[in-house]
Structure 1
């Protein structure tokens, strides 16, 4: 299950009832915008106890269209990679 921004805002409002919904929305938008800007510049983003986001360059390659089987040339492109922190790994695997 994926989480969408509206569900994230609902959870934040539930956890922090003293904050106004509009303030939480502004705060969330600022954080996501700054992450996007940093990645667009090519910088890495580290969120302690969560993980790191980095931009990697994927080399051009020849791939196959799974439907038709024909070869398709895929140009070089940038992709975002995420590596979870050790703390996140432990939480996910119930190792605390």
Structure 2
């Protein structure tokens, strides 16, 4: 089952006994801080969880999979995630 923002809000609300509005505001603010940070090109490191890294991709040659035609892919930014050792261990050992 996928963990959604709504489920995160419900879990935090039930564990910390905050109101639904307070919990929603906290989660929304956290996500907004993360988005603003990555928008500027900075990484987001959450100890014990992992690191969201912003990487710049250069212009490169690619291929249209539908037609097979060559094309140039424009430069862009991508976000990658590298999990921490603790998270990796927890995922692998259940």
Q: CA deviation at 1:61?
A: 1.1
Aligned length: 94
The reply to whether residue 46 of structure 1 matches residue 11 of structure 2 is no
* 3-state SS in 2 of match to 1:93: helix
Q: CA deviation at 1:53?
A: 1.0
Q: CA deviation at 1:72?
A: 2.0
Q: CA deviation at 1:59?
A: 1.5
Instruction: Give every structure 1 segment of 4 or more consecutive aligned residues whose post-TM-superposition deviation is greater than 6 Å.
Output: none
Cross-structure match for 1:4 = 4
Cross-structure match for 1:14 = 14
Q: CA deviation at 1:14?
A: 3.0
Aligned mates of 2:68, 2:10 — CA distance in 1: 44
* 3-state SS in 1 of match to 2:93: coil
Q: Normalising by structure 1, what TM-score?
A: 0.88
Aligned mates of 1:48, 1:36 — CA distance in 2: 18
Gaps of 5+ in 1: none
Residues 7-86 of structure 1: matches in 2 within 5 Å? 7-16=7-16, 18-86=17-85
Gaps of 5+ in 2: none
Cross-structure match for 1:93 = 92
